[in-house]
């Protein structure tokens, strides 16, 4: 802790760094997120790598000045592409000391972080608040933070009546000065963010922005410079849920049936605004089950539809998912995973639905499960998912998570292709002798018949059936139809390429991940390799079927370990033995498929994994005698 | 909407052309009467088989689609209505019928039932109500008469039965509510025809007996026509042949919701006819109808979307 900045303007010290992480935290509803979003967007436009995550309290309106209410944004800026939220925050703007404490207590802040904090609480007439402030300062003094008090509201009061509204723009001004952001770009971004508001609102926000900027100019004795590079290709910036929504439109889907559930719903907030222009409908069903039913009905009748949900919703849809598989009706389900079981951690990231996704349906229900690893992949995966659902006449699950859903990062604008979209409906009469399930005996693949095609009239049924869709209970027919549905999964695997190892393709340890952890894992592997460890990483997009060639890849490493955001027992925990150890979900799939003794490391912190935690796990799990 | 592809405009469909697999319901089951009435209706209206859909849940009556020569979707217990809604949202040009049992509709699928009434998507929903779970062999359903002994309530059904008509008439945006009975074939046919003609969600409760488990639940009404009250109105169901048999007749205007609700509450006698009908209610699939886009148009629109997100 050090003294506050002096008012004497001296040339600021310039801190030139390859990356820096910023947080803006406030009570819910004070606009910290808007400030963070604009800062992130402008930084991306200026040529920095950016990864933004929302800090979301679990309640809509938590009481003011409590740590649980901390709300805001964390923005990691880099000279190059940023793939994850990093380890620690280097600079924080906090609107009160309690929300700052929340970040301190979860070890979010670097030991030498700079904390700019609204200090009106220290001067409060309420003795309780002053006591809370003093207690907080004492708690924070355990680290080497540099605390800079800023009289934000008093400053804002010089130009507005209600400083609660607009303090976020003042904070944006502070950041603009400290990070040398282009003020014209910021103003354009403010105009965009408040495009639905009056010009007066815009002018006031710009005035507050400039007020903050000038205060920082006069009072902050350092600046941060992160080298920028102009992008080679045009970039777009969005969160993973918006990318999912755009991907669905790029795939030519026309119906999204859903029921509100965090953190999936924002996909449909976005789609509801634009989908109709694209000839699509978002149907908000009466419940999760109906959402699946409506999507299946629409898919059956024509183009592949999709439903979007999170863990509890996927559980409710289970029976319909089995029906889609049994009737070979194409369907895309997006599961934006959150912490579980039960209601769990609704706004927080977890990867605990993998086994439920692959095996959670009753009966034998073979289907496809995929997971995008980046926000960019959230877009492209929807195109792939629709195609696979149609070609393989089955359910395709897309497993994303709260980290991708709320993370914002730029990626190269996709080169759109009309061929990504579903073909127009074919209502030609069915061919002579064509059956509803004309299974190719080798592949199990068949062409589906949609209603409206003359001569095709048949009844689709969730009961066991033969290739004419006739209800059939005989054992040989059920054996055969089960084989046909299952075969398709093997056929898909035969068409996939083996995954590419990140780093050397042999070594001491291979870290295997899936979903949103890719960036953090690879960053940890890079650091480990710099330290001389023979570590590589492998990231899987297909979970059912698994990508081919895994056994061959694994053979070239002394040890294989998954890194996942799901719970697994630690060896050495009380009662935990080699036989009863509950393992990471991907590791269970990999052990089953390869018979390799795959280890696992998982955590469920309710936040994305930090590269440093993964690095620590790598160091701790290196095979004995392997590390140098 | 896709153009209706009538491959064979001059073809006259015989009733037999709508017959699918041989019905395997028990002899004497009311489902047979409904099947015959429906096949007769399709022939009378000359519905194109490939443009017609029967969607069902699970239960005896949900075998219905298999016995039709149209497209059919025999899905999950209680969940016919969401599937039918999805079909109609994507392909509004298809004619959709839904067959549900009392357990299907008013118990496990009750949530969907309420909302389907409110969506008012154009389809004919037939609730084949025999007051019992028959396929699973004699369990109490929500419409089982109080005191009726079943395998799950062997000392008699505990609660008074749920009244489906009251339920449906209590839902905002209900647009067609009728009740008919399997033992009055001409009324059954005329009611289904009126339901089919109505643009919107037509809910028809069909009273019927299960010959195995509930053969006698409507016995008094079957034997004593005076226990039946026939609703007559030009805008409802007109069955002159029944007017001699059922002397208790009420001139009821189906636009009168309050009167319909009052009728639904009456349990001392069985009311047959159209209780409520209002063609002016908004239909969900119409309000949600969007202009179709070509792939090229979509790509152009998406380019604009990306411009909004450009760095």
Per residue in A401-434, pLDDT (tens digit) is: 999 999 999 999 999 999 999 999 999 999 999 9
Mean pLDDT of chain A: 95
CB A460 to CB B73 under 8 A? yes
Which chain A residues touch B135 with a CB distance below 8 Å? none
Give the model's pLDDT for residue B284.
98
- Given a contact cutoff of 8 angstroms between Cβ atoms, the answer to whether A592 and A550 are in contact is no
Average pLDDT value for residue range A306-334: 98
Residue A278 has its nearest CB partner, among B58, B84, B301, at: B301
Which chain B residues touch A425 with a CB distance below 8 Å? 2
Residues B176-226 have pLDDT tens digits of 999 999 999 999 999 999 999 999 999 999 999 999 999 999 988 989 999
Residues A117-137 have pLDDT tens digits of 999 999 999 999 999 999 999
Rounded (10°) angle between helices A167-178 and A32-45: 30
Give the model's pLDDT for residue A1.
43
User: Considering only alpha carbons, which residue of chain B is nearest residue A280?
Assistant: B290
Which chain A residues touch B287 with a CB distance below 8 Å? none
Which chain A residues touch B76 with a CB distance below 8 Å? 293, 319-320, 323, 462
In degrees and rounded to multiples of 5, residue A126 shows phi and psi of: -85, 115
Which chain B residues touch A246 with a CB distance below 8 Å? 302, 305-306
CB A41 to CB B5 under 8 A? no
- Given a contact cutoff of 8 angstroms between Cβ atoms, the answer to whether A599 and A561 are in contact is yes
Give the model's pLDDT for residue B6.
52
CA distance B299 to chain A (A): 7
What is the Cα–Cα distance from A281 to A306, expressed in whole angstroms? 11
In degrees and rounded to multiples of 5, residue B241 shows phi and psi of: -65, -20
Give the model's pLDDT for residue B4.
52
Which residue of A253, A255, A286 is the best one to mutate when testing the B interface, meaning the one whose CB has the most B CBs within 10 A? A286
CB B72 to CB A281 under 8 A? no
Is CATH 3.40.50.970 the classification given to domain B15-308? yes
What is the Cα–Cα distance from A505 to A508, expressed in whole angstroms? 10
In degrees and rounded to multiples of 5, residue A362 shows phi and psi of: -80, 160
Indicate whether A337 pLDDT > 80: yes
What is the Cα–Cα distance from A453 to A451, expressed in whole angstroms? 6
CB B115 to CB A459 under 8 A? no
Average pLDDT value for residue range A56-79: 90
User: Considering only alpha carbons, which residue of chain B is nearest residue A415?
Assistant: B303
Indicate whether B8 pLDDT > 80: no
CB A279 to CB B291 under 8 A? yes
Cβ-based contacts under 8 A for chains A and B:
201
Say which DSSP state A428 is in: S
What's the pLDDT band for A628 if we cut at 50, 70, 90?
A: very low
Average pLDDT value for residue range A254-275: 97
Residue A255 has its nearest CB partner, among B7, B89, B293, at: B89
Q: List the domains of chain A with CATH numbers.
A: 13-225 (3.40.920.10), 236-413 (3.40.50.970), 427-495 (no CATH), 501-621 (3.40.50.920)
CB B50 to CB A292 under 8 A? no
What's the pLDDT band for A626 if we cut at 50, 70, 90?
A: very low
CB B299 to CB A418 under 8 A? yes
Indicate whether A590 pLDDT > 50: yes
CB A297 to CB B55 under 8 A? yes
CB A457 to CB B55 under 8 A? no
Mean pLDDT of chain B: 95
The three-state secondary structure class of A522 is helix
CB A451 to CB B53 under 8 A? yes
User: Considering only alpha carbons, which residue of chain B is nearest residue A271?
Assistant: B305
Residue A246 has its nearest CB partner, among B85, B295, B302, at: B302
Which chain A residues touch B306 with a CB distance below 8 Å? 236, 246, 413-414
Name the percent of chain B lying above pLDDT 90: 93
Instruction: Name which of A70-84, A314-328, A613-627, B145-159 the model is least confident about.
Output: A613-627
Residues A141-174 have pLDDT tens digits of 999 999 999 999 999 999 998 878 889 999 999 9
- Given a contact cutoff of 8 angstroms between Cβ atoms, the answer to whether B106 and B163 are in contact is no
Give the model's pLDDT for residue B1.
47
Average pLDDT value for residue range A258-274: 96
Instruction: Name which of A182-196, A390-404, A434-448 the model is least confident about.
Output: A182-196
Average pLDDT value for residue range B220-249: 93
User: Considering only alpha carbons, which residue of chain B is nearest residue A235?
Assistant: B311
- What Å distances lie between residue A581 and A359, A570, A573, CA to CA? 19, 8, 9
Residue A457 has its nearest CB partner, among B70, B290, B298, at: B70
CB A231 to CB B20 under 8 A? no
- Given a contact cutoff of 8 angstroms between Cβ atoms, the answer to whether B144 and B221 are in contact is no
Give the model's pLDDT for residue A8.
56
Give the model's pLDDT for residue A224.
98
Tokens at residue B50, please? 């490939």
- What Å distances lie between residue A278 and A294, A332, A606, B290, B302, CA to CA? 19, 19, 36, 9, 8
Q: Buried b / exposed e across A461-478, counting CB within 10 Å, b at 16+? A: bbbbbbbebbbbeeeebe
Residue B87 has its nearest CB partner, among A278, A287, A301, at: A301
Instruction: Name which of B48-52, B61-65, B238-242 the model is least confident about.
Output: B238-242
- Given a contact cutoff of 8 angstroms between Cβ atoms, the answer to whether B76 and B113 are in contact is no
Give the model's pLDDT for residue A449.
97
Which chain B residues touch A459 with a CB distance below 8 Å? 20, 54, 65-66, 68, 71-74
Which chain A residues touch B72 with a CB distance below 8 Å? 457-461
Average pLDDT value for residue range B38-54: 98
Indicate whether A627 pLDDT > 60: no
CB A237 to CB B309 under 8 A? yes
CB B71 to CB A459 under 8 A? yes
CB A294 to CB B70 under 8 A? no
Beta strands (DSSP E) in chain B are 52-56, 71-74, 95-101, 123-129, 132-133, 139-140, 176-181, 201-207, 228-232, 249-251, 270-277
């Amino acid at each position: 802790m050090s003294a506050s900045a002096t008012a004497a303007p001296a040339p600021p010290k310039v801190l030139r760094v390859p990356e820096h992480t910023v947080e803006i935290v406030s009570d819910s509803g004070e606009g910290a997120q808007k400030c963070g979003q604009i800062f992130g967007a402008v930084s991306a436009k200026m040529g920095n790598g950016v990864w933004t995550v929302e800090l979301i309290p679990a309640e809509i309106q938590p009481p003011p000045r409590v740590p649980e209410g901390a709300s805001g944004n964390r923005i990691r800026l880099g000279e190059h592409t940023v793939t994850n939220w990093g380890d620690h925050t280097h600079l924080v703007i906090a609107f009160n000391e309690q929300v700052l404490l929340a970040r301190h207590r979860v070890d979010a802040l670097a030991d030498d972080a700079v904390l700019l904090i609204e200090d009106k609480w220290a001067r409060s007439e309420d003795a309780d608040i002053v006591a809370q402030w003093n207690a907080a300062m004492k708690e924070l003094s355990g680290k080497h933070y540099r605390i800079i008090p800023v009289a934000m509201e008093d400053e804002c009061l010089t130009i507005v009546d209600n400083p609660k509204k607009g303090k976020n723009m003042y904070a944006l001004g502070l950041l603009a000065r400290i990070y040398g952001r282009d003020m014209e770009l910021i103003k354009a971004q403010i105009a965009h963010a408040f495009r639905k508001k009056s010009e007066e609102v815009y002018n006031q926000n710009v005035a507050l922005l400039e007020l903050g900027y000038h205060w920082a100019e006069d009072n902050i004795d350092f600046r941060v410079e992160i080298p920028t590079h102009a992008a080679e290709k045009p970039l777009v910036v969005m969160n993973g849920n918006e990318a999912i929504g755009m991907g669905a439109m790029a795939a030519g889907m026309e119906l999204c049936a859903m029921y509100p559930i965090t953190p999936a719903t924002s996909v449909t907030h976005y789609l509801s605004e634009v989908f109709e222009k694209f000839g699509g409908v978002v149907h908000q069903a009466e419940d999760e089950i109906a959402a699946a039913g409506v999507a299946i009905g629409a898919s059956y009748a024509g183009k592949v539809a999709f439903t979007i949900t999170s863990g509890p919703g996927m559980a409710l849809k289970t029976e319909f998912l089995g029906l889609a598989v049994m009737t070979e009706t194409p369907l895309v389900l997006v599961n934006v995973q959150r912490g579980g079981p039960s209601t769990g951690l609704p706004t927080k990231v977890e990867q605990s639905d993998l086994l439920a996704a692959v095996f959670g349906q009753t009966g034998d229900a073979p289907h496809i499960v995929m997971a995008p690893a980046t926000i960019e992949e959230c877009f492209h995966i929807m195109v792939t998912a629709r195609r696979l659902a149609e070609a393989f006449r089955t359910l395709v699950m897309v497993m994303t998570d709260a980290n991708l859903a709320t993370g914002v990062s730029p990626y190269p604008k996709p080169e759109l292709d009309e061929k990504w979209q579903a073909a127009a409906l074919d209502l030609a009469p069915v061919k002579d002798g064509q059956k509803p399930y004309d299974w190719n005996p080798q592949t199990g693949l068949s062409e589906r018949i949609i209603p409206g095609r003359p001569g095709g009239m048949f009844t689709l049924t969730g009961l066991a059936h033969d290739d004419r869709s006739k209800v059939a209970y005989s054992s040989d027919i059920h054996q055969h139809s089960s084989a046909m549905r299952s075969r398709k999964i093997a056929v898909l695997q035969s068409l996939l390429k083996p995954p590419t190892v990140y780093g050397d393709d042999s070594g001491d340890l291979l870290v295997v991940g899936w979903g949103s952890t890719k960036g953090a894992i690879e960053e940890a592997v890079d650091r480990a390799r710099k330290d001389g460890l023979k570590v590589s990483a492998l990231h899987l997009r297909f979970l059912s079927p698994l990508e081919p060639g895994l056994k061959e890849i694994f053979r070239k490493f002394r040890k294989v370990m998954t890194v996942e955001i799901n719970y697994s027992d630690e060896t050495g925990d009380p009662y935990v033995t080699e036989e009863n150890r509950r393992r990471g979900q991907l590791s269970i799939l990999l052990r089953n498929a390869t018979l390799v003794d795959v280890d696992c490391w998982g955590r469920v912190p309710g936040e994305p994994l930090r590269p440093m935690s993964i690095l620590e796990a790598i160091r701790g799990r290196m095979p004995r005698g392997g590390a140098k | 909407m896709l153009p209706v592809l009538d491959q064979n405009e001059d073809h006259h469909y015989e009733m037999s052309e709508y017959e699918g697999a041989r019905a395997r319901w028990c002899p004497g089951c009311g489902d047979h009467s409904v099947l015959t009435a429906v096949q007769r209706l399709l022939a009378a209206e000359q519905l194109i088989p490939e443009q017609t859909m029967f969607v069902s849940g699970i239960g005896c009556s949900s075998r219905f689609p298999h016995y039709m020569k149209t497209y059919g979707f025999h899905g999950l217990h209680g969940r016919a209505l969401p599937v039918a809604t999805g079909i109609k949202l994507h392909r509004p040009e298809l004619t959709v019928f839904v067959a549900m049992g009392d357990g299907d509709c008013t118990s496990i699928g009750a949530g969907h039932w309420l909302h389907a009434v409110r969506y008012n998507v154009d389809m004919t929903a037939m609730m084949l109500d025999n007051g019992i779970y028959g396929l699973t062999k004699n369990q109490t359903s929500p419409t089982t008469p109080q005191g009726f002994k079943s395998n799950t309530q062997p000392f008699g059904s505990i609660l008074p039965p749920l009244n489906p008509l009251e339920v449906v008439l209590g839902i905002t945006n209900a647009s067609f509510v009728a009740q008919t009975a399997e033992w009055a074939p001409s009324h059954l046919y005329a009611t289904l025809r009126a339901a089919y003609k109505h643009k919107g969600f037509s809910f028809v409760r069909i009273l019927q007996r299960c010959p195995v488990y509930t053969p006698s639940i409507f016995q008094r009404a079957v034997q004593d026509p005076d226990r039946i009250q026939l609703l007559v109105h030009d805008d409802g169901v007109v069955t002159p042949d029944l007017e001699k048999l059922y002397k208790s007749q009420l001139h009821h205007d189906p636009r009168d919701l309050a009167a319909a609700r009052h009728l639904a509450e009456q349990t001392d006698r069985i009311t047959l006819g159209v209780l409520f009908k209002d063609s002016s209610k908004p239909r969900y699939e119409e309000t949600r109808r969007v202009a179709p886009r070509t792939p090229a148009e979509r790509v152009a629109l998406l380019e604009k979307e990306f411009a909004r997100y450009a760095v």
